[in-house]
Amino acid sequence: MPAECAPSPPASDRPLHGLPLPPARLHPDLYVAEFVGTALLVLVGVSVVILMFGQGSPGARLIPSEGWRLFLTGGLFGSVGALIAVSPIGRISGAHINPAVTVAFWLEGKLAWRDATFYVLAQFAGSVIGAWPLLSWGRMGRSVAFGAPQPGVGIPVWAALLGEAGVTFLLILAIFTMAAHPRTRSFTPLALPAVLSVLVWLEAPLSGASANPARWFGPALIARVSIDPWIYIVGPSLGAVLYAGFVRLGSVRLPRVRVARLFHFNIEA
């Protein structure tokens, strides 16, 4: 058979390239992985926050400087995310573990809207399950609202909102730029602790530097925090939209992500 007449290979289901097959197909294994990954991020990452800032915590005794504790907390929180990204969980779902990251991948055309919707639902559900064990921190956890981000004292709502949008935009810009370039994409997980250590140190006094609606939701629910909750949904979502607009309309041409993953880029799904 002539080469030009050879049959094309059958198309495959590639949900993390924005190409599910059939188009309406759902991917429960991906959603379960996001659920588990987000639960682990909240449980371990927010425990770090409590250990660093809770009343009577060892972190406050060992590191009196609040600035240094913010820097280290951001780095440790990012390290938890990096470990999830390189783990089997990340191999399955791409380890977004953040609705804002999922929205950014969707806006970039790397995730179908059905998958993006179930990713976000799984992330919020995982956040609640991951936050529930935080109640075991007792008084130490209650002293910091079980790690739920809140606007700083005297900080106006607009400043906290812009802070959340800005910190989310910069986080997505950093990790997507790393993930898009062939020479740097294998180091993308390492960007999480490096970037978050700086962003948390700089922005936490404004809004608590959530940059992740799911990271806020579970702790806020168990702590019954209801202070301007929309900031932590609208702000990160706005940051994701700003990134997508910046990539498409900005004067600086940036490489585009090819797959909705932060690691395991050789997987075809």
Q: So what CATH class is 15-249?
A: mainly alpha
Nearest to 176 by CA among 155, 154, 195: 195
Mean pLDDT over the full length of the chain: 93
Give the bridge partners for 200, in sequence order: none
Nearest to 119 by CA among 262, 260, 269, 265: 260
CA–CA distance, 48 with 30 (Å, rounded to integer): 27
Nearest to 123 by CA among 146, 101, 151: 101
CA–CA distance, 110 with 266 (Å, rounded to integer): 15
What's the whole-number mean pLDDT along residues 104-128? 97
Two structure tokens written together for 93: 């779902």
CA–CA distance, 72 with 216 (Å, rounded to integer): 19
What phi and psi, each to the nearest 5 degrees, are found at residue 68?
Answer: -65, -35
Instruction: Dump pLDDT digits (tens) for 86-98.
Output: 999 999 999 999 9
pLDDT above 70 coverage of the chain, percent: 94
Is pLDDT above 90 for 54?
yes
Residue 22 near residue 109, CB atoms below 8 Å = no
